[in-house]
Amino acid sequence: MKKIREIKKISSRNKNNINKIFRGVIHIQSSVNNTIITVTDILGQVVSWTSAGTSGFRGTRKRTPYVVQVTACNVSNQIINRGITQVEVFLKGPGIGRDVALRTIRRNGILLNLVRDVTPIPHNGCRPPKKRLL
């Protein structure tokens, strides 16, 4: 019985104590219909994430640059509260929100150390479908 109470006390202390992180990595996955922004520490453990849907937008509004700006602003506020000041940014996908998200993060006072495009490009691609019979 004592051990269970001690474990509960320790875990509640850890929840109240937020570890400060100074450097992080932002992954921006921008598709045609949505933009997902994930923030990790250097080891790859997720610190926070958000998307256009979690920012309160639905349907075709999720693909607009304004919604990406709001989403990036939410993420940057969460990052600043955690103490992250320097980030590396990895962009993935062909969507509209790539540049808008970068500009918004930079405007909110976060220093960008590295910006890299990690969009997967097929070297040979899939096998094409067979020719149509006439």
Q: List the chain domain ranges.
A: 19-117
Closest CA to 89 of 52, 39, 53, 45: 39
Instruction: Identify the DSSP state of 47.
Output: E
pTM value is 0.78
Superfamily of domain 19-117: Ribosomal protein S11/S14 (3.30.420.80)
Predicted confidence (pLDDT) per residue in 70-114, tens digit: 999 999 999 999 889 999 999 999 988 889 999 999 999 999 999
Residues in the chain: 134
**Residue 56 falls in which region: left (phi positive, over 0), alpha (psi -120 to 50) or beta:** left
Q: Which residues touch 77 (CB under 8 Å, ≥6 apart)?
A: 108
